[in-house]
Structure 1
Amino acid sequence: MAPHGPIGVGEVAPDFTLVDTHGTPVHLGDLRGSPVVLVFMPGAFTGTCTGEICALRDNLSLFEAAGVRLLVVACDSAPTLRAWAEHEGASLELLSDFWPHGAVTAGYGVFDADRGRALRGSFLIDADGVVRWSVVNVAGQARDLAGYRAALALL
């Protein structure tokens, strides 16, 4: 994990540009004006992450109804994330933080340098780019959809 831990509520979310599963750059700064939920996943094709991505896939309407853009970030390569999304039938926006490895994830304070992967962190960023809610779970502990519902109710 980063030396100071995850960024906190009330802080401005660090800006970034990452590529999606088709190599298209997604720039967080371009999304200002609408809220965003960033979901950091430890790894594609792993049990808990697959359960979480399927839960997000099956409940995408919660985010859409709130006008929130959902972005899933992992330190896997874009082709790996594309294969994972296709395998799970997930039309979610998956972003690759592969190179420089975990740089964006580290900027949010949720990079596990010992394992080279993200911690299980989620951040709700408001339309002005300020973090309004966050959760970081220990390895193997899935995030609860009730937490996302409560976060979306803050908007």
Structure 2
Amino acid sequence: MAIEPGTKAPDFTLKNQHGQTVSLGDYRGEKNVVLLFYPFAFSGTCTGELCALRDQLPAFVNDDVQLLAVSADSFFSLRVFAEQEGLEYPLLSDFWPHGDVSRAYGVFDEEKGCAVRGTFIIDKEGVVRWTVVNGLPDARDLDDYVAALQAL
């Protein structure tokens, strides 16, 4: 079960597509975070969602907001995926220990070995303020994220 709004967001440190470490705590007191979990790089629905975010990037990466996208792919795969699709925001690898961060947020599918489509908006104090969790085949609506961010 996914963590609920009002819950303190579990902190984590993962490698991005360039092998650099990124921690949720890096943004505490500085930026709101859109934390987006997705099943797999290179899959059709995931590519569509992540490219839609790329196309509306100023709404999700700016002085007040940081987008972090997480999958269980290795950071090597994420680097190729980011280069191929022109994704300049952090793609974080929850590869090892496999799915630990996804599990902490309650969005890891044990049978399939990947995250489901979970999104968490975390405020500057590190509290989850909004969530949506969709099944593997169901894309999310970016307009919902924008509305939730504007409500902060």
TM-score by length of 2: 0.96
Match of 2:48 in 1: 51
Letter in 1 for 2:6: G
Structure 1 Cα separation of the partners of residues 93 and 70 of structure 2: 6
Alignment of 1:4-153 (within 5 A): 5-33=1-29, 34-65=31-62, 67-153=64-150
Q: Distance in 2 between matches of 1:66 and 1:153?
A: 14
Q: Supply the AA of the counterpart residue of 1:20.
A: N
Runs of 4+ in 1 over 6 A off after TM superposition: none
Question: 1:32 corresponds to which letter in structure 2?
Answer: R
Kindly state the Cα deviation for residue 65 of structure 1 after the two structures are TM-superposed: 4.8
Q: Any stretches of 5+ residues in structure 2 without a counterpart?
A: none
- The one-letter code sitting in structure 2 at the alignment partner of 1:57 is R
Contact 1:122–1:134 (CA<8 Å) still a contact in 2?
yes
- What amino acid does structure 1 have at the position aligned with 2:15? V
Q: Number of residue pairs matched?
A: 151
Identity of aligned pairs, percent? Answer: 58
Determine the C-alpha separation between the residues in 2 that align with 1:64 and 1:94.
Answer: 13
Query: Is the Cα–Cα contact under 8 Å of residues 107 and 115 in structure 2 kept in the other structure?
Result: yes
* C-alpha separation in 2, matches of 1:29 and 1:71: 12
After superposition, what is the alpha-carbon deviation per residue over 1:8-33, rounded to whole angstroms, capped at 9, x for unaligned?
00000001000011111111112101
Q: Is the 8 A contact 2:16 2:91 kept in 1?
A: yes
Report the AA paired with residue 75 of structure 1. A
> Equivalents in 2 of 1:6, 1:29: separation in Å?
20
Q: CA contact under 8 A between 1:66 and 1:152: conserved in structure 2?
A: no
The CA deviation at 1:64 is 3.2
Which residue identity is paired with 1:13?
Answer: A
Length-normalised TM-score, structure 1: 0.95
Q: Is the 8 A contact 2:70 2:92 kept in 1?
A: yes
Query: Which runs of 5 or more residues in structure 1 are unaligned?
Result: none
